Amino acid sequence: MHDRSIGSLGWQDGEEGVRNVTVDRAVLTGTTNGLRIKTWAMPNSGSVTNVSFSRITMNRVANPILVDQNYCPRKVDCPGNSSGVQISNISYTDIEGTSATPVAVKFNCSSTNPCSGIKLTNIRLTYKHKRPAQAKCGNAGGSTSGEVRPPSCF
């Protein structure tokens, strides 16, 4: 189960994009993805902007916070390409719980259209058995406030 996913964007040129989305108060348990934004690794246009995720509890979620702009499942439709979809102004506030994998926060953004304006506020995610989780970033920029665990990679 993928749960709160926005995508798949950028597969076809001319897509209008996604804007002004709010997800508030949810509990996710045992899902493959928690709060995900996914775009194809293709040079098509589009955008994801003004998205707010708040007051979310994760229970053993494999990818609690994930932005993947290099999605290419078969590795044949988009090899060597970078997403043309622009991702900006995404906020994560009061997100807590456990990750089923060591990397709880991952921003895998486009080299040609980096993610910008990501805000992390009061993030408290641990790896199972209360071990520290990790955050990984590629081509992502943003800010943090309050307690942020795992420590931000911005």
Domain 4-149: which CATH class?
mainly beta
Helical H segments across the chain, by residue range: none
Question: One-letter amino acid identity for 51?
Answer: V
Q: What is the band of 4 on the pLDDT scale with cuts at 50, 70, 90?
A: confident
**DSSP structural state of residue 57:** E
Output the pLDDT for position 1.
46
Sequence ranges of the domains in the chain:
4-149
Confidence of residue 3 (pLDDT cuts 50, 70, 90): low
Q: What is the pLDDT of residues 116-149, one digit of tens each?
A: 999 999 999 999 888 899 999 999 999 999 999 9
C-alpha dist (Å) from residue 86 to 8, 108, 130, 134: 13, 13, 35, 25
**Residue 152 CA from chain centroid, whole number:** 13
> pLDDT by residue (tens digit) across 31-61?
999 999 999 888 888 999 999 999 999 999 9
